[in-house]
Amino acid sequence: MQKGKIFISYRQSDTQSEASRLKEDLEEVFGEENVFFDIETLEPGLNFADAIEKTIRQSKVVLVLIGPDWADVKDEEGNLRIFQENDWVRREVAMALTMEDTRVIPVLLKKAMLPKTSQLPDNIKSLAEKHSKEITISRWRYDVGMLIKSIEGVIPPIKKKEPAPTPRPYPISKPPKGWWAKNYLWVIFAFVVLLLIGLIPEDEALTDISPTTQNEEMVDGQQNLAESNTPMDDNPAGNEFNEGLLPEENPSTPPAAQAGFDYSGKWWLYENGIRAGYFLLEQNGAYYSFDYYYFDNKVGEGTGEYDGTYLYSTTFGLYDDQGSYSFSFGSANSGESWVGQTQANGLVSSAELRRN
């Protein structure tokens, strides 16, 4: 039987949300049919123990997700479940460790530590000697990418089908235009101009201005000029000016560019089609500040700006990571949704923001 599957072992009370998220990420690379997840991918109607054994035997990689409570979960009587022979997690790990051609990788989540041999029953003590991978919530995309690279050394990724190229239509040649088709607009324009010129009366082309009228207008102009130079009654010195004659002051400088819509509030972040937490944005005109949440835990914060085209971060820091993070989005529907990309330690992902 050919082996080429990935099996995810986890405790529901410890890392169920993270296991679901990791399954989706692995399916993007290795295919949905090659990632086993006990709740969804085991065939209905089969004996659970037989189904688990069959699945693990088909798996070339077994990921053991370990959270802070993985080895400390107790039953109703207060006994550690990991030391009970009917504990399913223990049985999954023990079976995987007996497979010589199966790679078992402990995956540490939520800042968990790899259990010591003293914390494990005899049949899975060797798990403590395996090289582990750590995945943190704040840098999920980067850490999962490193885990995928390790798995690709054992299981090749699937080849995504490229869409067939769209056939390019040949241009249809049009018959050449005649002289009238090329110049009829100019002919109509010239005809209209000539028609308008012919309608203008010759008597109205010149205006009769008598010398008497010209002299009266010059006298009135000189009188108005003299009045404007006469000092005001309350200003004998004549050193004040009529307010109406003062030049208008320059209008105040327009304020900085403001966004034409409200983009504050809760925005879900999707990276490569997978939800990756959310932002809470507080808008201040074209500028904003934000908090970043993952699994309802605040893990980072930052500031940004909207320049009229792009909504981008100017600072973005995560609390337990000193890496480099940023994002940039554009909107084609007045801020109802945004499409762009995120950057995490040099790893660029296609992303979008959707309003809550």
Confidence band for 238, pLDDT divided at 50, 70 and 90:
very low
**What's the predicted TM-score (pTM) here?**
0.52
**pLDDT tens per residue, range 45-93:** 556 677 778 888 889 999 999 999 999 999 889 999 999 998 989 999 9
Residue 247 in this model has a pLDDT that exceeds 70: no
Residue 216 in this model has a pLDDT that exceeds 70: no
**pLDDT tens per residue, range 108-141:** 999 999 999 999 999 999 999 999 999 998 889 8
Range with the lowest mean pLDDT among 24-38, 129-143, 195-209, 211-225? 211-225
Residue ranges and CATH numbers for the domains of the chain are: 5-152 (3.40.50.10140), 265-355 (2.40.128.120)
Range with the lowest mean pLDDT among 32-46, 137-151, 251-265, 322-336? 251-265
Confidence band for 257, pLDDT divided at 50, 70 and 90:
very low
In percent, the amount of the chain with pLDDT more than 70 equals 72
Using CB atoms within 10 A of its CB, is residue 116 exposed (0-12), middle (13-18) or buried (19+)?
Answer: exposed
Token pair, residue 165, equals 């190229």
Token pair, residue 342, equals 């995120």
Q: Which residue has the higher pLDDT, 212 or 253?
A: 212
